[in-house]
Amino acid sequence: METLKIWGENIPYNTGKPKAPDMVIRKIPRWLAMMGWVKDVFGTRVARDTGGMDTYTYLDEIKTGKASASYDDVPTLTPFLSTGSDTAVIIAPGGGFCNQSRELEGYNIAAFLNRKGISAFVLDYRLNPYRAPVCYLDMQRAIRYVRYHAEEYGIATDKIGTLGFSAGGYLSGASLILLGDKAVEISGYVPDAIDAQYGTADFVGMVYPVVDFDRNQNMLALLAGKDFYDPEKRPHLQNRYSLTAQLQHSTVPQFLCYGSKDMIKGQDAYAQRLEELHIPHKTLRIEGAGHGFALENKKYAFWADEFVQWVRDVTAEKQTQ
């Protein structure tokens, strides 16, 4: 498949240094590493270190060549263009910030949107051990990239949205709530023509997203770094990186979908904040659904048709304004 490099030669936060010194990698088989990853990502007790998550990242992403062993990863977009579509959805797969479910929560979703007449781009973003704001900075850059090339793709510059799953849902929300249209703020980075584009999505979709770290705490270490393990600093970091706590009124429409039995918690409170702040939104709370249903669980796959109709509705409103 064709991939598009979204950054220029100067990619912020890429130092070229090896990642291993910043990771706790255990010599265990992949199946055991996956169990450790699940325990840390979905668990409620604070782990002693990031080893459970780091080891899985190493085995599933770095050792397989999906990600580099050094800080020199190149984020990309994989385009799925639909002839005649003036709307684009940038998709961020989930994976607890440790890996990416590129097939189930990326390419399959993009193919579905294509069948519905909507263009899509699957984002391959930087993962653990990169820390915040790298992953959602990649999402912001993807929005600017598609907007910069909108005429080439036949896309309206005010019909570019995002759709994220689980940790990818956090990226989708964080690019709006924590970044918005802020400039890239890192010493030595030289902005280019793409950076001049508006960096906020026109609509935001989040499916079984991570929205805070009050209960499932360990993932926060993958954003905040070692400060997470300081009990005095942790409450501040939980507030700083919480989409619910940082959410403010916005006219950008949001689509929130999650299951009543999700192991990732906090979505109910986020939905309530959308109401309280009078943010245009559609909330789809699916009774009985757990985490990670995507399109594979046919019982809950109706969410995707609901999303498509919602996208059509919010983009149609732009034509009448």
Q: State the average pLDDT for the chain.
A: 96
Burial 269-300 (b: 16+ CB within 10 A, else e): ebbebbeeeebebbbbebeebbbbbbeeeeeb
Task: Render pLDDT for 13-40 as a digit per residue (tens, 0 to 9).
Answer: 999 999 999 999 999 999 999 999 999 9
Supply the pLDDT for residue 61. 97
Supply the pLDDT for residue 268. 98
Supply the pLDDT for residue 319. 64
202 phi and psi, to 5 degrees?
Answer: -85, -20
Question: How far is residue 269's CA from residue 278's CA, in Å, rounded to a whole number?
Answer: 14
Question: How far is residue 155's CA from residue 81's CA, in Å, rounded to a whole number?
Answer: 10
Question: How far is residue 157's CA from residue 297's CA, in Å, rounded to a whole number?
Answer: 34
Task: Render pLDDT for 95-139 as a digit per residue (tens, 0 to 9).
Answer: 999 999 999 999 999 999 999 999 999 999 999 999 999 999 999
The conformation of residue 98, written as its DSSP 8-state character, comes to T
Supply the pLDDT for residue 317. 72
Are 201 and 90 in contact, with CB atoms under 8 Å apart? yes
96 φψ region: left (φ > 0), alpha (ψ -120 to 50), beta (else) = left
**Residue 210: which pLDDT band, with cuts at 50, 70 and 90?**
very high
Supply the pLDDT for residue 230. 96
Supply the pLDDT for residue 60. 96
Torsion (CA) 132, 134, 139, 142 in degrees, nearest 10: 160
Helix (H, G, I), strand (E, B) or coil at 14: coil
Q: Is the pLDDT at 74 greater than 90, yes or no?
A: yes
pTM of the complete model: 0.97
Q: Which domains does the chain show, CATH number per domain?
A: 4-8+73-320 (3.40.50.1820), 20-62 (no CATH)
Burial 235-263 (b: 16+ CB within 10 A, else e): eebbebbbbbbebeebebbbbbbbbeebb
Question: How far is residue 302's CA from residue 310's CA, in Å, rounded to a whole number?
Answer: 13
For 57-77, what is the mean pLDDT?
A: 97
Tell me the Cα Rg of the chain: 18
Burial bucket for residue 198 (CB in 10 Å: 0-12, 13-18, 19+) = middle
Question: How far is residue 89's CA from residue 225's CA, in Å, rounded to a whole number?
Answer: 30
**Residue 320: which pLDDT band, with cuts at 50, 70 and 90?**
low
Supply the pLDDT for residue 293. 97
**Residue 1: which pLDDT band, with cuts at 50, 70 and 90?**
confident
Supply the pLDDT for residue 149. 98
Are 137 and 92 in contact, with CB atoms under 8 Å apart? no
